[in-house]
Each structure stands twice: as structure tokens, then as C-alpha cells.
């Protein structure tokens, strides 16, 4: 049954329903109705909506196909869409706990790369398809409680190949109302071009009012990027933050005497 399968996949992803709605572009009420047993009504964009939903939930190609079938999209029209939107076959597997995000995740292949490792460790990759647009990301979201009031460092190794735009780590700390409390996407230090493995880090303060923390790797336009050796850990206050919001609005006044 479609509703039961969808509930299983959402629980497997560990994402709040509103987050799934926001990332997939499917209205929250529509997802709620589906979970309550309402069968999706066929329309031209339904296969595309479900494919995008599958990417947000980190589903394998087989799992996405099953969701499409149980929604009644196993028709020639759905098959034609699948061929059009997925011209590149991939062996990438979406790792548990991670999900596809970004403005256009359907334009990229993402997951664990079986052909590349970092010091013997598995790594995840984002690879552009023929005509990538906007950006895609591989992310994980957690509750902020364990890090409340602490300074948090997200670090990882990144490798890149033929990036026409950029790749970067990102981390966002949000409050209960969705307000962004701290944020960094390496805007001022992006990974560009072709590079061997190198360590990168983001350091943010987790406000006591914080509810969620989302972190991962993003990539824009053509090329391929890999991420490995991921760590999320509390650090001492002596470690400076990389919060881009602090650059936009300093915590304390500066140059009040106009000396500089």
C-alpha cells in the first residue's frame, strides 16, 4: 500500500514531515493526506514529484521505483520520464541517515562511491549529469540538544575534479521557528577546479534556543566532488567560529572612533 510504504521510507530517513515537504516541493498537506491513506491522483508532474521525493528521502533506485509503482505511476509515461531525467546509470548508494537536498538534486548523481576511498574509508560523492543547474547537496539533520550551548566543529576531507563552479561543506543551526541562528557554506573559501584530498572545517556556536542542525557537502554545476573522514565534535571557545552571519552583523560594535 502506498501510504504504508511512504511512512516506512519517511521513518527510515528520520526527517520531519515539514522538512520533507520543504525539500521535495510537495505541499505538507498533500504528504499528510498520502500518509493517511489518500492515493495520489495522476497528473503529468506526479512521477517527477515522486522521483524528487525519493531523492530527499535517500531512497535507492529500486525503492523509488516501488514507490512510483504503488502510486500507480508504473506506466509508459513514468518510464519515459525516468529515462529522460536519469540518463546516467549509477551504482551510487545513498548511505543511511543522509539525504539529497539542494535546488536541483535530480540533476546530480549522489551517494557512496564504490570506486573511491580515503585512507581506506568509504566516501560519498556528488557528480553532475549532462546539464546540471543550480546546486545539489548531501546532508544530514540532527536535533541540537546534545550540543546546546557548545561550539561545534564539522570537519571533513574534500576531493574535487573539474569543478566549473564550486564545492563546499555547509552547516546551519536553526531555531524552532526556522530562524537561522548560525550558518556557513564556505562562501569565502570554496573548493574549485581539481584538487586532491584536503581537510576543511566549519565552526559554529549552537545557541541554547537551537532546535536543529543540518550539515553536509554541496556542489554547484559541472564536475564531481567527494567527501570523507567526517567529524562532528564540540570544541573549546578558543577555536574561532566561521559563522558567516557574524560577518554580516558583528556581535559587538567596531570602529566607533572612526580610526580605520
Taking the C-alpha atoms of residue 109 and residue 90, their distance in angstroms, rounded to an integer, is 7
CA-based nearest residue to 111, from 58, 164, 64 = 58
Confidence band for 49, pLDDT divided at 50, 70 and 90: confident
pTM of the predicted model as reported, rounded to 2 decimal places: 0.67
The residue whose grid cell reads 557537502 is 217
| More confident site: 128 or 92 | 128
pLDDT beyond 80 at 86: no
Confidence band for 75, pLDDT divided at 50, 70 and 90: very low
Quick one: how far is CA 113 from the chain centroid?
16
The mean predicted confidence, pLDDT, of the chain is 85
| Angle of helix 46-56 versus helix 61-70 axis, rounded to 10 | 140
| More confident site: 74 or 120 | 120
Instruction: Give the three cell numbers for residue 80.
Output: 519515459
Q: To the nearest 10°, the Cα dihedral for 158, 189, 200, 146?
A: -120
Domains defined for the chain, CATH in brackets: 1-86 (1.10.260.40), 91-253 (2.60.120.260)
Angle at CA 10, nearest 5°, toward 4 and 15?
155
Taking the C-alpha atoms of residue 75 and residue 184, their distance in angstroms, rounded to an integer, is 43
Averaging pLDDT over each range in 12-21, 234-243, 250-259, which range is the top one?
234-243
pLDDT beyond 90 at 120: yes
- The answer to whether the beta carbons of residues 180 and 243 sit under 8 Å apart is no
| More confident site: 81 or 137 | 137
Instruction: Give the three cell numbers for residue 236.
Output: 573549546
pLDDT beyond 80 at 157: yes
| 14: Cβ contacts below 8 Å, ≥ 6 apart | 97, 141
Burial class (CB in 10 A: 0-12, 13-18, 19+), 207: middle
pLDDT beyond 90 at 222: yes
pLDDT beyond 90 at 23: no
pLDDT beyond 90 at 61: no
Amino acid at each position: 500500500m502506498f501510504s504504508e510504504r511512504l511512512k516506512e521510507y519517511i521513518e527510515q530517513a528520520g526527517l520531519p514531515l515539514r522538512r520533507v515537504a520543504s525539500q521535495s516541493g510537495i505541499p505538507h498537506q498533500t504528504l499528510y493526506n498520502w500518509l493517511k491513506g489518500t492515493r495520489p491522483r495522476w497528473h503529468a508532474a506526479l512521477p517527477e514529484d515522486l522521483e524528487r521525493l525519493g531523492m530527499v528521502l535517500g531512497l535507492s533506485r529500486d525503492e523509488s521505483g516501488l514507490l512510483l509503482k504503488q502510486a500507480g505511476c508504473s506506466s509508459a509515461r513514468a518510464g519515459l520520464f525516468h529515462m529522460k531525467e536519469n540518463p546516467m546509470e549509477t551504482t551510487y548508494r545513498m548511505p543511511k541517515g543522509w539525504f539529497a537536498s539542494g535546488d536541483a538534486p535530480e540533476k546530480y548523481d549522489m551517494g557512496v562511491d564504490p570506486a573511491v576511498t580515503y585512507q581506506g574509508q568509504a566516501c560519498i560523492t556528488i557528480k553532475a549529469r549532462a546539464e546540471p543547474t543550480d546546486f545539489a547537496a548531501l546532508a544530514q539533520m540532527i536535533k541540537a540538544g546534545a550540543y546546546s550551548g557548545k561550539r561545534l566543529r564539522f570537519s571533513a576531507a574534500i576531493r574535487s575534479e573539474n569543478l566549473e563552479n564550486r564545492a563546499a561543506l555547509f552547516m546551519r543551526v536553526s531555531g524552532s521557528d526556522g530562524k537561522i541562528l548560525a550558518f556557513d557554506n564556505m562562501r569565502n573559501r570554496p573548493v574549485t577546479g581539481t584538487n586532491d584530498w584536503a581537510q576543511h572545517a566549519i565552526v559554529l556556536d549552537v545557541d541554547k534556543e537551537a532546535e536543529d542542525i543540518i550539515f553536509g557537502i554541496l556542489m554547484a554545476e559541472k564536475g564531481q566532488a567527494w567527501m570523507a573522514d567526517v567529524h562532528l565534535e564540540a570544541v573549546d571557545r578558543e577555536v574561532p567560529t566561521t559563522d558567516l552571519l557574524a560577518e554580516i552583523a558583528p556581535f559587538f560594535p567596531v570602529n566607533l572612533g572612526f580610526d580605520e
